[in-house]
Amino acid sequence: MEYNATVLDKQVVADGLIIIRVAPDDTPYSFEPGQYTVLGLLGREARVKESDPEEPPPDPDKMIKRAYSLASGSTEKELEFYIALVRSGALTPRILALREGDRVWVSSKPTGLFTLDSVPSDQGIVLVATGTGLAPYMSMVRTHLTDECGRQRRWGVFHGAWKPWDLGYRSELEAWNRDCDNFVYLPTVDSPEGDRTWKGSIGRVHTFLEKEKFRGVFGEELDPERQHFFLCGNPGMVEAASAYLQSVGFSEWHKRKNPEGTIHLERYW
């Protein structure tokens, strides 16, 4: 198994948090917004100094592979990923050590059911994430909102992070929020200390789904007949948000068991 893609750019969002763009050798690379693919690097590759020691070290000739959601729009030629360092991990310390021009392996078969395929065109879409769980939503927004900006269907991205500087894609989402009347962006942080300029929301992102708060942010009543919710990131957030939504009449989507469901889940670990 050989490397089949090249690193084009790496943007450091915050310590241990990057956006990386790669160009696969074989194009076009087809996927649905919301899907994920697999990245791989050999065990011999360097790790960032912030990572934990590996005991025992991996086989230098073995490919270490992990799944990551695609953040790029589905019509883009390059692939983008939003990745946080796992200090004890096998792969992310190596990915964060990559530089422009380095080579990496990318699976040719993206997969996943966390897509907008089951959402009717007249239903609102509320995308709720913590941390790098935002990645699949960036793909959805970049692919679909250009055509839907200004139309009747409402979109929302609710993104929770620990600190303000952990809010990746903030400037891009603020631009969508400014330019599209039917798009709402809610960034919220658990702890604003250390950033005196932060004037935004404070609190766990799932608490903004409560009826009164939701109406104030999204501009519509919480309504199982009008909205689909996507939940991605920390399993604690996903479970809490799903439980609340089910308590007010929403149900979890399942391809076979409940294709009419309006809660779509993606647990990140």
User: pLDDT tens track of the chain, all 269 residues?
Assistant: 799 999 999 999 999 999 999 999 998 999 999 999 999 999 999 999 999 999 898 999 999 999 999 999 999 999 999 999 999 999 999 999 999 999 999 999 999 999 999 999 999 999 999 999 999 999 999 999 988 897 889 999 999 999 999 999 999 999 999 999 999 999 999 988 888 889 999 999 999 999 999 999 999 999 999 999 999 999 999 999 999 999 999 999 998 899 999 999 987 66
CATH of domain 124-267: 3.40.50.80
Longest dimension (CA), the chain: 56
Q: Domain 5-106 in CATH: superfamily?
A: Translation factors (2.40.30.10)
Q: Give the pair of three-digit tokens for residue 135.
A: 């990645």
pLDDT at 146: 87
Give the Cα separation of 41 and 154 in Å (integer): 40
Numbered ranges of CATH 2.40.30.10 in the chain:
5-106
Helix (H, G, I), strand (E, B) or coil at 137: helix
Question: Parallel, antiparallel, or unpaired: how do β-strands 103-106 and 5-14 relate?
Answer: antiparallel
pLDDT at 242: 98
pLDDT at 194: 80
pLDDT at 269: 63
Quote the pTM value: 0.96
Contact (Cβ atoms closer than 8 angstroms) between residue 64 and residue 91: yes
Helix (H, G, I), strand (E, B) or coil at 243: helix
Numbered ranges of CATH 3.40.50.80 in the chain:
124-267
Contact (Cβ atoms closer than 8 angstroms) between residue 148 and residue 156: no
Distance of CA 74 to the CA centre of its chain: 14
Among positive and negative, which fits the CA dihedral 169, 175, 178, 182?
negative
Q: In this structure, what DSSP letter does residue 143 have? A: I
